[in-house]
Amino acid sequence: MKYGAEQDISIEHVFSLMKAALLKLRPLSSAFIDIRGKNGFFRKNAHKQPSWYRAKTTHDAKRQARKRFNFGSILRLRTFAFIIAGTVLLVVYINNLLTINSLSRENEHLRERIGVSKSINAALELELQELTAIHNISEKAGMMGLRARMIPAVYIGAK
């Protein structure tokens, strides 16, 4: 399944994909390997005991379990590569979230400024309409000593 850059992917989906990839790449054998020198065979399932195996005390069993743990299955290069890749993806995801949050705050601030500008523009438009009304113009002209003429204007030239 391919995803485009513009599609949103949930964090749960990313973690499930990472888990599936890690489960595919895990070693086939268990991390606990019991090596028996008598018969020269490897027993891969530590929880299955043969019929001749005698039970040990819990202290001895814990000590044996600590001895038998195979760190090689954990300390593989591809495991570290997946952990690093997962960390990088997580950092990029968090960075994107922080960027989106800062952009949304800036967007809200700009919306508020646009709202204030619109209200100022509406007030100025109303004042302009009041000033351009004909009775205001004739009143200002009378205060300046201009009078309205009753004689129509003279046109020069042919109509």
Confidence of residue 12 (pLDDT cuts 50, 70, 90): confident
Residue 139 has pLDDT above 90, yes or no: no
Amino acid type, 79: T
Strand partners, 41: 36
Q: What percent of the chain has pLDDT over 90?
A: 29
Q: Half-sphere exposure (CA, 13 Å, Cβ side) for 65?
A: 10
More confident residue, 159 or 120: 120
Residue 147 has pLDDT above 50, yes or no: yes
Determine phi and psi for 32, rounding to 5 degrees. -105, 115
| pLDDT tens per residue across span 53-100 | 555 556 665 666 556 666 666 677 888 889 999 999 999 999 999 999
* 6: DSSP letter: T
